[in-house]
A and B are shown apart, each in its own frame.
Chain A
Amino acid sequence: MDDDNPYDLLAADDEDQRWAFGTGFTDPFAGVGTALPPGVPAKALARYCLALGDDALIYSHRLQEWVTRMPELEEETAIANIALDLLGQARLLLSRAAFADPSLGPDGLPADEDRLAFFRAPGQFRNVRFAERADADFAELMARLLVFSAWRLELCAALRACPDPVVAAITARSVSELTYHRDYAAAWVVRLGDGTGYSRARMREGLAAVGPLTGELFTASAVERDLPGVAVDPGTLRAGFDSALGAVLDAATLDAPAPLTDAPLAPAPLTDAPLTDAPLTDAPQSDGPLGRDGAHTPALSRILAELQSVARAHPDATW
């Protein structure tokens, strides 16, 4: 074997079955047409995809912060896997949003996944506030991951029937990823809940900590109301979510803390303001307390300051 060229060794096709590297890739989007379906309002569809994409983008960022901080090396590959899956979902959804409405691009430039991710201001993001919170410890990390995944799984499962074929394809693929994420988090909630006395206390605290912003996940906003028959009413996800969560908490021998079982927030009044005019502020609005309306906690500004820092320092650069 010639080792003058390091790549000769790598190119040898030796049929070694121990090698789990890329033995075939099937494109889940093969045969999916990209044309927007007639009868679906393009701008409203774009805003919806943006919202779902922002959820995944911002939450993936939070998970990325845990790389090199996990309690065991095997958990490093697991959390990176989940963050990568969500980043992939974000990219597809932001790209669909850009395709459906190029005018979504900030600063008057046509939208694409990167312009949307790196050049919007905090008030222009449409993620649920739940996704932007930081986790104090591993128990809270698993509590939030369980709630987020279980919720998003219900949502994507329902969206497989979406009249937009691209959204249907994205969510169909997301369902198998999210099932894995939910089950990973569930297994940890069970282990910590029914582990040592110390872990049980931490798990209870973690669940209590993620409770307060859970109601928002099941509250419809203008983003959903503007897209009837296409967007999923998040209120309809509650039953499936409660059932899944209930099963996990039973196995963990824990009770559901009160905020997780709260009714959804009262729906915000309809607003005519187009998405790109949403106020650039983090203070919750009296007439629209939801992340979907562009109202966020201060955490989002900090996330974006980091996420967007290099791209904004070189606004004309290609990477």
Chain B
Amino acid sequence: MVSNSGFEETIAAGRRVEPRDAMPEAYRKTMVRQVAQHAHSEIIGMQPEGNWITRAPSLRRKAILLAKVQDEAGHGMYLYSAAETLGVSRDALTRMLIEGRQKYSSIFNYPTPSYADVGVIGWLVDGAAICNQVPLCRSSYGPYARAMIRICKEESFHQRQGYELLMTMMRGTDAQREMVQDSVNRFWWPSLMMFGPPDAESPNTERSMAWGIKRHTNDELRQRFVDMTVPQAERLGVTLPDPDLEWNAERGRYDFGAVDWDEFRAVVAGNGPCNAERVARRRAAHEDGAWVREAAMAHAGKHR
């Protein structure tokens, strides 16, 4: 029987763990949950933005948004593919999502009532995701790291297009500028929450760091995101809705205000404005589509 000493050696040497390698059960379970929840986030994330495809106000913006949402489906599939190498089927993971036994990024439980949200999601939400994801390109689990590299390359266009839309709107009419500011007011704090609870409340961080599952802590990444984004906001001409946001010369970083962790916990627990709707849409597509999938298998069975 292969021992886990090969695993420890691989981690210590900074090499990648591959599907056939021995690994502690806790590592496998953590990896399945992390990769699956990341996959679910991409698929659910198609909805808040997909909402605006048919109403995009120029044909070029429509094409860009449709391509972006299509990419998100693709990213979900790359990630499910990585999760499946750990011995769980995509179908089982889909059922866990639909039944609420696995989660997805809570940012997607917020509604997107205005078209400016498309730009702000590209800028802030994809920006936060990139901050999270670039370090994951060095995840200790090989299939996940490789999926992350492909995803990061595709996502760089998403963030840039979002920001470019916002720049266009901020140079436009008063109504467009108000729409952007309103959207930023609604999405700023939820974007900070994307990095997860504060380090003090994240019990698994130390072990996850030791195993190369996490490369940076939640607070480190959140700080990095703020530092990168504040100058972008200034350049755009929007105000970030935090009166405590201030450059701290001593730290060489921005100080920022307190996140409302009660809101975060409520949304994570399923009481966000759109939780039910997001899952219901995914459930409907999956369940309504069962007869189609079955027909395809039946046909394949007759024609082997």
Is there any pair of Cβ atoms, one from A and one from B, under 8 angstroms apart in the complex?
Answer: yes
Chain B residue contacts of A94, Cβ below 8 A: 59
Given contacts A69-B285, A114-B59, contact A198 B131 (CB under 8 A): no
Expressed in whole angstroms, the minimum distance between the Cβ of A10 and any Cβ of chain B is: 5
Contact of A18 among B50, B63, B150, B172 (CB under 8 A): B150
Contact of A314 among B46, B62, B137, B175 (CB under 8 A): B175
> Contact flags (1/0) for B263-300 with A, using CB distance below 8 Å?
00000000000000000011011101111111110110
A314: chain B residues within 8 A (beta carbon): 57, 173, 175-176
Stretch binding the partner chain, chosen from B16-24, B152-160, B241-249, B252-260: B152-160
Q: Evaluate whether A196 and B291 lie within 8 angstroms (CB atoms) in the complex, with A64-B53, A64-B54, A317-B176 already known.
A: yes
Let me know if A199 and B292 touch, CB within 8 A: yes
Q: Does A84 contact B (CB under 8 A)?
A: yes
Asked whether A138 lies within 8 Å of B292 as measured between CB atoms, the reply is: yes
Query: B28-36, B66-74, B97-105: which one contacts chain A?
Result: B66-74
A69: which B residues are within 8 A, CB to CB? 281, 284-285, 288
Known: A67-B46, A76-B70. Is A317-B57 also a contact (CB below 8 A)?
A: yes
Tally of contact residues, B, Cβ under 8 A: 64
**Inter-subunit contact A84/B70 (CB<8 Å):** yes
Size category of the binding interface on chain A: 35 or more
Q: Is the CB of A19 within 8 A of B69?
A: no
Which of A72-99 touch B at CB < 8 Å? 72-74, 76-77, 80-81, 83-84, 87-88, 90-91, 94
| Residue A152 lies at the interface, judged by CB distance under 8 Å to chain B | no
Select which of A10, A76, A191, A310 is within 8 A of B156 by beta carbon.
A10
A190 surroundings in chain B (CB, below 8 A): 299
Interfacial chain A residues near B302, Cβ < 8 Å: 194
Q: Which residue of A lies closest to B115 (CB)?
A: A310
What chain B residues lie within 8 Å of A307 (beta carbons)? 54-55
Cβ of A1 under 8 Å from chain B: yes
A114 and B58 contact, CB distance less than 8 A: yes
Q: Report Cα–Cα, A313/B149, bound state, in Å.
A: 40
Q: At the interface, yes or no: A236 with Cβ under 8 Å from chain B?
A: no
Contacts of B57 in A (CB 8 A): 118, 310-311, 314, 317, 319
A-B contact sample (20 more), CB < 8 A, given A6-B130, A10-B156, A72-B289: A4-B224, A6-B152, A64-B66, A67-B46, A67-B70, A69-B284, A73-B73, A76-B46, A77-B73, A84-B67, A91-B60, A194-B299, A195-B296, A307-B55, A309-B55, A314-B173, A317-B173, A319-B56, A319-B57, A319-B61
Question: Could you pull out 19 A-B pairs where Cβ atoms are within 8 angstroms?
Answer: A7-B156, A9-B137, A64-B53, A64-B54, A69-B284, A70-B285, A73-B76, A73-B77, A76-B73, A77-B74, A80-B69, A87-B59, A87-B63, A118-B58, A138-B292, A195-B296, A196-B295, A199-B292, A310-B55
